[in-house]
Structure 1
């Protein structure tokens, strides 16, 4: 009996020790997990700060150059000469800064240089470049660029990019081009936003196709809209043909 008691005590103490070891291991794993998350977060912050500084440096460089392709591309090549990887984030931030400053020529130059390196080919950058072409009234270049996008990224073109090219054509009073882009949208199953629908409807009106104008408005706009009347939100019927 005494031997059995001793064995029972030893067994219990072993089980308790095992449970304590498991608890310690779990606690250590949690601490290690937290530490790794913290380190990752700190690394991201440092990288973000570095890319922001690089972006500002790039903007300073290109804005101080003459408006010559060779000079700009040469300076940009020199800017990346010591980089182990292409600084895509820094260039994207620089493009955003140039866009905010309305430096459209520099936006075009930097974006084209980046594409020439096989980098940064995203819908966001495409949108920025088409917008810059629009502001610089370089419609032919925008059109060639758009056709390239349509050919190579057909099934992945965003609604925003369709809206951008339609807005450019509307800005330059090109209704037939708007209708052609809208036809591509319908073929690819991309539903236009309300502002784009109105641009398309106006384009049909300008080319004398009033029936299609009304059809587009009825198809893509809801039959009602909300307005504020005497401090309340009220639903009213939409008069598509006259809007």
Structure 2
């Protein structure tokens, strides 16, 4: 008797367990596919938006590189540089803001300080790309080109025009410029302005 009983239970114990109830609920309504298999089906990501961003970014990078290569070959004359910059934007439906910002960054990496000064001042004359990064790059270029008086003039204009909104990195930039040039009085002035702004 015990042997017959163990023989009847043996195949059931050794066999594959039946599927859970949750897996068989959908058989009567939507076909034989278990509900759990729905987790394997995922929506295709919408790649159009990402491709558009990459294309735009690549386009602005090419425009920036074209500008950098163009101005790098020009003589050190303001008229020649400004003329090339005007041609660069002549047929653009909108001002190439991103490309101009990238061009300044490329010039910075190449340490072409005079070209940065010329491009940044041209942008200022157009009222374009007047970001804190542009001002910081211009102050650095003026310092590296030995034009401390111009850097100080632009700094004073920034302080007077943009009260309460000047970022800390510009204060750090001017403190470094004055400290490198051994101007302790000027350093104290910038530090004093910093405390007025942030305290």
Whole-Å Cα distance in 2 between the matches of residues 45 and 170 of structure 1?
Answer: 42
What SS does the aligned partner of 1:40 have? helix
Whole-Å Cα distance in 1 between the matches of residues 110 and 163 of structure 2?
Answer: 31
What SS does the aligned partner of 2:164 have? helix
Q: Gapped runs of 5+ residues in structure 2? A: 1-28, 30-41
Whole-Å Cα distance in 1 between the matches of residues 185 and 142 of structure 2?
Answer: 19
Which one of the candidate residues 165, 185, 189 is aligned to 1:180? 189
What SS does the aligned partner of 2:91 have? coil
1:159 is the counterpart of 2:168:
yes
Whole-Å Cα distance in 1 between the matches of residues 171 and 50 of structure 2?
Answer: 36
1:66 is the counterpart of 2:75:
yes
1:111 is the counterpart of 2:129:
no
Matching residue of 2:153: 144
Matching residue of 2:107: 98
Whole-Å Cα distance in 2 between the matches of residues 44 and 51 of structure 1?
Answer: 11
Pick 1 or 2: higher relative contact order, CA cutoff 8 A, min separation 6: 2
CA-to-aligned-CA distance 1:111-143 (integer Å, 9 cap, x gap): 110111111111111100000010001001001
Cα distance, 1:107 vs structure 2: 0.4
Cα distance, 1:180 vs structure 2: 0.3
CA-to-aligned-CA distance 1:31-80 (integer Å, 9 cap, x gap): 69x53xx2221111001101111111000110111101111001100011
Whole-Å Cα distance in 2 between the matches of residues 80 and 133 of structure 1?
Answer: 25
CA-to-aligned-CA distance 1:186-216 (integer Å, 9 cap, x gap): 01116xxxxxxxxxxxxxxxxxxxxxxxxxx
Cα distance, 1:155 vs structure 2: 1.1
Matching residue of 1:203: none
Whole-Å Cα distance in 2 between the matches of residues 39 and 176 of structure 1?
Answer: 56
Q: Gapped runs of 5+ residues in structure 1? A: 1-15, 17-29, 191-243
Give the alignment's TM-score, normalised by structure 2.
0.77
Matching residue of 1:81: 90
- Specify which structure has the higher proportion of strand: 1
Which one of the candidate residues 151, 171, 180 is aligned to 2:180? 171
**Segments of 4+ in structure 1 off by > 2 A?**
none
Root-mean-square deviation (CA, aligned residues, Å) is 1.5
